[in-house]
Amino acid sequence: MHWDGLQTPAWNGAISNEAAKREIATQLASRAADGQVIGIGSGSTSFLALLALSERVKQEGLNILCVPTSLEIESYCTALGLTITSLVNARPDWCFDGADEVDPENNLIKGRGGAFVREQLVFAAAPQRVILVDESKFVPRLGSSFGVPLAVVPEAANLVRERVREATGHEPVVRPAKGKDGGIIDEQGSLVMDLPIDGSLPPAELEQLLLGTPGISATGLFVGYDFEIIK
CA 44, CA 22: separation in Å to the nearest integer?
A: 10
Angle between helical axes of 157-168 and 203-211 (0-180°, round to 10): 150
DSSP letter string over 77-95? HHHTT-EE--TTT---SEE
**Cβ–Cβ < 8 Å for 51, 59:** no
Rounded to a whole number of angstroms, the CA Rg of the chain reads 18
CA 167, CA 153: separation in Å to the nearest integer?
A: 19
In one letter, which amino acid is 151? Answer: A
Active site residue 55: no
CA 152, CA 217: separation in Å to the nearest integer?
A: 6
- Report helix, strand or coil for 229: strand
The catalytic position among 72, 101, 119, 207 is: 119
CA 216, CA 156: separation in Å to the nearest integer?
A: 8
Catalytic positions: 119
